Amino acid sequence: MDLLLDVIGWLGAALLLYGYAMVSTSRMPGDGVRYQLINLTGSLSLMVNSAYNAAWPSAGLNLIWAAIGIVAVYKLIRRGVTSDRRA
């Protein structure tokens, strides 16, 4: 179980870094569904890993990060934005 949760944590960290790098290099819009889903998945993965390791400040941060991501994805879907393409 330790190895699985370590892998989940590392994948979450990699996703967050990937999303940040893609937005920072203008290869992905920061207000698109794809970026928000990358952030949401990464933060949930790190939250699970942090909670398992009793790293409560990190778990709390990632819980809030995930909540922001959920709200952002909900708003994008509600507006009808389902891809990162802009008209």
Q: What is the number of structural domains in the chain?
A: 1
Residue 58 within any structural domain of the chain: yes
Whole-number Å distance between alpha carbons of 81 and 87:
11
C-alpha pair distances (Å), 31 with each of 60, 73, 76, 81: 24, 10, 9, 10
Contact 40, 15 (CB under 8 A): no
pLDDT digits (tens, 9 = 90+) for 10-48: 999 999 999 999 999 999 999 899 999 999 999 999 999
User: The domain containing residue 33 runs over which residues?
Assistant: 2-78
pLDDT digits (tens, 9 = 90+) for 48-80: 999 999 999 999 999 999 999 999 999 999 998
* Assigned token pair, 56: 């409560």
Residue 83 within any structural domain of the chain: no
pTM: 0.88
